[in-house]
């Protein structure tokens, strides 16, 4: 087959004729979706055309074009991630300044809750993750993590779930709903068995099981506790006035006690109830957030 017989590449102005640098004010997600689809289609068409006459050459051409296309996506991904990180950091600074000012005016500490609404940031991040094309390596890794979430070693399952969730958050992982549901289910079981009810609640939310999340949310509050090293002794620094009957809740208290003994701090969930925390009374209410130094 001579050069003149080969299919010639079609030169197009742009994936979307309305897209011209300097003329378009807003690049919509539809623009990007359609551009990506056009790129994928064109590569596939070229491959098919060339492949009719020479498979080897077609494979080489596809591999070269795929690599260029992935590179384009990668650069865009990195830029968008950097923008999100900068915005997150700016919002954190705004929040800290606002809270500091408010505490000064009111003369009291206001806890560690999130003040500023981060919905615009989250929706942009979610959109970015949704758009990310599949990365077969990441999908394979995610599947591997799911397979390793079997058995009864909750610590190991918890670690695998965290790795799985991190991959899922970054995008590029394409799995069936059944696999994702199984992973969340195992992650929830692990968090419950390890006494990390705050994590369990988040995992219920990630799984879309809002009833489960709400149910757990009603039984816990979120605390940030700190004790000075001199306060940590053989005695329990955190004592519930009444130990709950539910083993999962008891486990949660044990985890908090162990963390305070070992590290002098604990940040996470604590069952609703009254506690003696280094001689002070800590009243944990459902959905409440508390910051206390013992």
Partner 1 sequence: MSDLFIKTIKEAVFLKPEWREKLLSFNDKITPEQEQKIIELVNNAREQYETAILNMNEESNAANKKYLKGMEDFFRHDVPAAMKKVEQKSQDKEEEELEGILTDLEKI
Q: Which of 33, 37, 70, 83 binds partner 1 (CB under 8 A)?
A: 83
55-74 core/surface letters (b: 16 or more CB in 10 A; e: else): eeebeebbeebeeebeeebe
Instruction: DSSP for 190-239, please give it.
Output: HHHHTT-HHHHHHHHHHTT-HHHHHHHHHHEEEEEEE--GGG--SS-SEE
**Span near partner 1 by CB under 8 A; candidates 21-29, 145-153, 226-234, 258-266:** 21-29
| Distance in angstroms (rounded) separating the CA atoms of residues 93 and 118 | 13
Q: Is there a contact between 199 and 267 (Cβ–Cβ < 8 Å)?
A: no
Q: Based on CB atoms, which residue is closest to partner 1, 31 or 193? A: 31
| Distance in angstroms (rounded) separating the CA atoms of residues 109 and 97 | 14
Look up residue 7 and give its two tokens. 């299919």
Q: Based on CB atoms, which residue is closest to partner 1, 37 or 262? A: 37
Contact pattern from residue 116 through residue 135 relative to partner 1, giving x for each residue in contact according to CB under 8 A and a dash for the rest: xx--xx--x-----------
Answer yes or no whether residue 114 interacts with partner 1 by CB under 8 A. Answer: yes
**Sites for partner 1 among residues 62-81 (CB under 8 A):** 64-65, 68-69, 72, 75-76, 79-80
Q: How far is CA 63 from the centre of its chain?
A: 32
Answer yes or no whether residue 242 interacts with partner 1 by CB under 8 A. Answer: no
Instruction: DSSP for 132-144, please give it.
Output: SPP-HHHHHHHHH
Answer yes or no whether residue 105 interacts with partner 1 by CB under 8 A. Answer: yes
The contacts of residue 64 (CB under 8 Å, 6+ apart) are none
**Span near partner 1 by CB under 8 A; candidates 39-47, 133-141, 246-254, 262-270:** 39-47
Look up residue 191 and give its two tokens. 């968090």
Contact pattern from residue 181 through residue 220 relative to partner 1, giving x for each residue in contact according to CB under 8 A and a dash for the rest: ----------------------------------------
Minimum separation from the CB atom of position 75 to partner 1 (A) = 7
Angle at 42 between CA 37 and CA 47, to 5 degrees: 130
Answer yes or no whether residue 46 interacts with partner 1 by CB under 8 A. Answer: yes
Count of residues that interact with partner 1, criterion CB under 8 A: 60
Look up residue 126 and give its two tokens. 């979610």
Answer yes or no whether residue 112 interacts with partner 1 by CB under 8 A. Answer: no
| Residues at the contact surface with partner 1, assessed by CB under 8 A | 1-3, 6, 8-16, 19, 21, 24, 26-27, 31-32, 35, 38-39, 42, 46, 50, 54, 57, 60-61, 64-65, 68-69, 72, 75-76, 79-80, 83-84, 86-87, 90-91, 94, 97-98, 101-102, 105-106, 113-117, 120-121, 124
């Amino acid at each position: 087959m001579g050069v003149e017989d080969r299919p010639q590449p079609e030169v197009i102005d742009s994936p979307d004729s309305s897209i011209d640098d300097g003329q378009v004010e807003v690049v919509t997600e539809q623009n990007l979706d359609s551009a990506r689809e056009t790129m994928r289609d064109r590569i596939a068409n070229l491959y098919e055309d060339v492949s009719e006459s020479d498979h080897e050459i077609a494979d080489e051409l596809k591999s070269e074009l795929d690599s260029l296309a992935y590179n384009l996506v990668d650069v865009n991904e990195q830029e968008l991630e950097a923008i999100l990180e900068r915005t997150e950091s700016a919002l954190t600074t705004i929040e800290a300044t606002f809270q500091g000012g408010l505490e000064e005016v009111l003369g009291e500490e206001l806890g560690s809750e999130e003040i500023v609404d981060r919905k615009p940031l989250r929706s942009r991040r979610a959109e970015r993750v949704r758009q990310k094309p599949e990365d077969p390596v990441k999908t394979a890794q995610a599947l591997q993590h799911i397979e390793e979430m079997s058995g009864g070693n909750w610590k190991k399952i918890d670690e695998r779930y965290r790795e799985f969730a991190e991959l899922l958050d970054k995008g590029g992982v394409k799995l069936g709903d059944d696999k994702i549901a199984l992973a969340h289910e195992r992650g929830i079981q692990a968090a419950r068995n390890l006494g990390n009810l705050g994590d369990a609640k988040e995992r219920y939310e990630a799984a879309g099981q809002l009833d489960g999340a709400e149910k757990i949310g009603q039984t816990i509050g979120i605390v940030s506790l700190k004790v000075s090293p001199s306060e940590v002794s053989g005695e329990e620094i955190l004592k519930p006035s009444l130990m709950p009957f539910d083993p999962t809740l008891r486990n949660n208290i044990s985890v908090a006690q162990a963390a305070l003994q070992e590290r002098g701090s604990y940040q996470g969930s604590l069952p609703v109830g009254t506690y003696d925390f280094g001689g002070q009374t800590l009243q944990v209410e459902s959905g409440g957030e508390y910051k206390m130094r013992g």
